[in-house]
C-alpha cells in the first residue's frame, strides 16, 4: 500500500508540474493572439498538444494507481478522490499532508488554467469579430454609394465596382 501511495503522490506531483507548464504555454498564447502572430500561434499549439498528450498519459497512470489502491483497501474506485484518500490515511499524517497539499495545488493550477483559457477564448472571439468587421468594411468599400450611381435614364443602378472582391492574374 505504501508503494502505491508513493506512486500516486509522484504522479500527482508530475501532473501539477505539467499543468503549470501548460498554463505558461497558454499564457504565451494570450500575447500571441493579441499580436496576431500566426506562426508563433502554430508553434504554441504544437507545444500545447504535446503537453496535453503527456497529461493524458499521466491521467491514465493515475487512474490505474487509484484502481489498484481501491482493490487493496476494498473500496469502489469511482468514489476515491484525493480528499477521500487523505481521509483514509489518518494513521499516516505525512502522506495525508502531501495528498492535501497536492490537491490544493492542483485546484489552484486548474483554476489558473481555466482563467487563461477563458481569456484566450474571449480574445479569439474578438479577433474573429474584427476579421468579420474588416471583411464587411472591404465589401462595403467595393460597393458604390447608391445615391451617386445612376444610369443614362437617371435610375439608381446599385451596382458594385469591379467584378470580384480579389484582384488576380492568370
**Any idea where the domains of the chain sit in the sequence?**
2-147
Among candidates 54, 51, 58, which has minimal Cα distance to 25? 51
**Mean pLDDT of successive 10-residue segments in the chain (170 residues)?**
85 94 92 88 93 94 90 80 85 89 95 94 90 83 60 65 52
Assign a CATH topology to domain 2-147.
Methane Monooxygenase Hydroxylase; Chain G, domain 1 (1.20.58)
In angstroms, what CA-CA distances link 1 with 7, 76, 87, 95, 161? 10, 16, 15, 12, 78
Give the span between the Cα atoms of 56 and 169, in whole angstroms. 49
Give the angle subtended at the CA of 148 by the CAs of 145 and 153, to the nearest 5°.
Answer: 130
Read off the pTM. 0.73
- What per-residue confidence (pLDDT) applies to 57? 95
**Residue 62 CB partners (closer than 8 Å, separation 6+):** 8, 11, 12, 15
Amino acid at each position: 500500500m505504501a508503494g502505491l501511495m508513493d506512486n500516486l503522490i509522484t504522479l500527482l506531483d508530475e501532473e501539477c508540474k505539467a499543468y503549470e507548464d501548460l498554463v505558461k504555454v497558454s499564457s504565451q498564447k494570450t500575447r500571441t493572439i493579441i499580436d496576431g502572430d500566426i506562426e508563433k500561434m502554430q508553434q504554441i499549439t504544437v507545444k500545447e498538444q504535446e503537453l496535453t498528450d503527456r497529461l493524458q498519459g499521466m491521467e491514465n497512470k493515475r487512474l490505474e494507481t487509484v484502481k489498484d489502491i481501491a482493490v487493496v483497501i476494498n473500496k469502489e474506485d469511482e468514489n476515491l478522490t484525493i480528499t477521500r484518500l487523505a481521509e483514509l490515511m489518518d494513521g499516516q499524517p505525512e502522506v495525508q499532508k502531501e495528498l492535501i497539499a497536492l490537491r490544493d495545488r492542483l485546484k489552484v493550477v486548474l483554476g489558473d488554467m481555466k482563467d487563461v483559457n477563458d481569456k484566450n477564448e474571449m480574445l479569439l472571439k474578438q479577433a474573429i469579430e474584427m476579421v468579420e468587421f474588416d471583411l464587411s468594411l472591404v465589401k462595403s468599400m467595393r460597393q458604390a454609394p447608391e445615391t451617386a450611381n445612376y444610369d443614362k435614364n437617371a435610375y439608381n443602378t446599385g451596382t458594385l465596382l469591379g467584378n470580384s472582391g480579389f484582384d488576380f492574374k492568370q
